[in-house]
Structure 1
């Protein structure tokens, strides 16, 4: 005779009996089958394990939060102890597993992913340093992670590149991203390569940088065309790969609209209740000279390659959002959320204000 379910079991919503559908198997030979249980959400255990390299970055923190909320156990490799502290509370007890990691240490890389079903490579550098240049991060580092993932029997490998990655680009950043895609594909033939456009969000280097340093976004007379995409949309797309089948292809994730730097500067001025910047347009030669001279300063400044990127329009390729099951959002509805902090106390409670009209760009 079966005893009545206890109050704890009823509250937890856990089934009293297990079925074959509760068993989660993995193609990874180093991982034993797991049993998923618990109600959908943060307190669930899906039986899946994911490793997110680059988890302490802008996109990484949102991806970790979405994975953990779905019940996925997340391994978070880190270099700095302070940079991973905020990730610990994103999942239930034992679901966030921090591990010290160095990109050049293959043994540590193998240890971080040997139990994982899905591996994400979000590692990247927006500017070069004396320890890590573009090639060592985007090419050599990406190839090393992909090769170790292949050797460890990982079933899904998702590599994040950039929408403008091209071997013919005038930007070394974009060239290294394109070369990294080639190396990853050779090391892990079934890898999925994601190419997001420039992302906006709370800690972005787009809207926040424009609000603080509008002069450096007036290069090219502020006519550079970009396709900004919400970081939450990209994170959701990456999170969906846990349930999607293996996709050995390259997917482009641009924003739904194409705008110019000039329009974004006007949008920021309207949202922050500030007059538009009257800063002059700096010629490219002078901007390159100033950026090279500033490289001797110890804190990050505008690098010469970033100056070059301010003159490159975003690729006008077709988006692949239908494949990942996400509908991207425009920047306008979320701009006030990320830009209200730049308002004065007098204007802080006012409703958002939008520019008169968005220019039509083909």
Structure 2
């Protein structure tokens, strides 16, 4: 039976290695180079997508059985879709939590073989429903995040007789729910927890999103100290809100606004690379317990450079407009009132500060092994440059798309 209740799961697990037992056996932190007793595999067994996994049976690919049960919160999001593709190709079983309509997770079903998915409707305010999502999972992955508070207008008794009701604030999404998931992992003796945080965040950041992501990461570390923390920079890829911001602004408003002189730095990472990193971690999760993995692209750019790159790629004869930070934030606040929030005041504050790794690649390599922060390079993943992938999903912003360059009937 694929899905079981929390009580049945704990009863069946019995003597199975809990996090506490694992720490007693192998220590509070597991060195990346350490090999558990009796494990005859290489120190870091991280197979490629075509290689067989540990305990994998079946014909291979999506039709295989990887003997791995993964509970995913936030699977319908940007990283989640790419991660489901990776896990499905490896033959994993996925317990996918969804708090919306069935149509939101429909596209995830073909990514897994028949019988390898269980979709559970849950509410972040209903702890029992979150327990049902976790079930008997070996690994829990938290991808939940939000760049704005969700809500809707409501009628009031006083003028102007309309107000705003917040459903889930940034504090709820990035801190409370993250801590709740970590507490459930401790309670239900889940062996591994992967929490996706972010780079460029801090306790005193002007952006509320950055502050709450930082607080959420600390809450997870305190509640579940052996959790694996994955910290990506800004994400780019099909359906992103990053490069699409530049393309949409130039097409809709005739210019691309950048904060200040446009010299703020960012080092974006391709979303499928982050998904592949998380998938590789699930291949040998015990080797990453208590570790931090930073994900970032091969190069950094200023926002002005990215704006010019997008204009060149989409062949739009538009301008880059430098806007003082205060006015830039006011402009973003107005954009935040759109029905589909692609940019808002808090994101403008986030983009007003550098979003880059805390160290150079050489400094990452030269860290002492104790407490070492890992990168995608340590897991055998080469970061994809933005120049390689951007055209594949931005060429549609060209006049006539790619058809304008084709002669004859088409």
Q: TM-score, normalised by structure 1?
A: 0.83
Cα deviation for residue 284 of structure 1 reads 2.4
1:264 maps to which of 292, 297, 306:
306
Separation (CA, whole Å) in 2 of partners of 1:119 and 1:95: 16
Partner of 2:329: 288
Residue-pair matches, total: 322
Task: Report the aligned-residue RMSD.
Answer: 2.3
Contact persistence 2:233–2:357 (CA under 8 A): no
Matched, 1:49 2:69: yes
Q: Aligned with 1:344: secondary structure?
A: coil
Q: Aligned with 2:313: secondary structure?
A: helix
Partner of 2:271: 231
Separation (CA, whole Å) in 2 of partners of 1:88 and 1:49: 16
Cα deviation for residue 310 of structure 1 reads 1.8
Contact persistence 1:158–1:192 (CA under 8 A): yes
**1:180-191 correspondence to structure 2 within 5 Å:** 180-191=216-227
Separation (CA, whole Å) in 1 of partners of 2:312 and 2:217: 39
User: Does the C-alpha gap of structure 1 residues 205 and 301 become closer, same or farther in structure 2, counting only changes over 3 Å?
Assistant: closer
Cα deviation for residue 223 of structure 1 reads 1.6
Separation (CA, whole Å) in 2 of partners of 1:346 and 1:102: 41
For structure 2, the residue ranges without an aligned partner over 5 or more in a row are: 1-14, 20-53, 151-165, 362-374
Matched, 1:176 2:237: no
Q: Aligned with 1:131: secondary structure?
A: strand
Matched, 1:160 2:200: no
2:355 maps to which of 303, 314, 320:
314
User: Does the C-alpha gap of structure 1 residues 345 and 315 become closer, same or farther in structure 2, counting only changes over 3 Å?
Assistant: closer
Partner of 1:331: 386
Residues 258-295 of structure 1, C-alpha deviations (whole Å, 9 max, x = no match): 111111112111211222x2253233222333444555
Separation (CA, whole Å) in 1 of partners of 2:271 and 2:334: 32
Separation (CA, whole Å) in 1 of partners of 2:128 and 2:147: 26
User: Does the C-alpha gap of structure 1 residues 342 and 191 become closer, same or farther in structure 2, counting only changes over 3 Å?
Assistant: same
Q: Aligned with 1:119: secondary structure?
A: strand
Cα deviation for residue 212 of structure 1 reads 0.5
Partner of 1:20: none
Residues 307-353 of structure 1, C-alpha deviations (whole Å, 9 max, x = no match): 111211113323612333311111001111121111222754659xx
Q: Aligned with 2:63: secondary structure?
A: coil
User: Does the C-alpha gap of structure 1 residues 112 and 265 become closer, same or farther in structure 2, counting only changes over 3 Å?
Assistant: same
Contact persistence 1:228–1:258 (CA under 8 A): yes
Partner of 1:111: 132
Cα deviation for residue 66 of structure 1 reads 0.6
Q: TM-score, normalised by structure 2?
A: 0.74
User: Does the C-alpha gap of structure 1 residues 340 and 348 become closer, same or farther in structure 2, counting only changes over 3 Å?
Assistant: farther
Cα deviation for residue 44 of structure 1 reads 0.3
Cα deviation for residue 54 of structure 1 reads 0.4
Matched, 1:250 2:292: yes
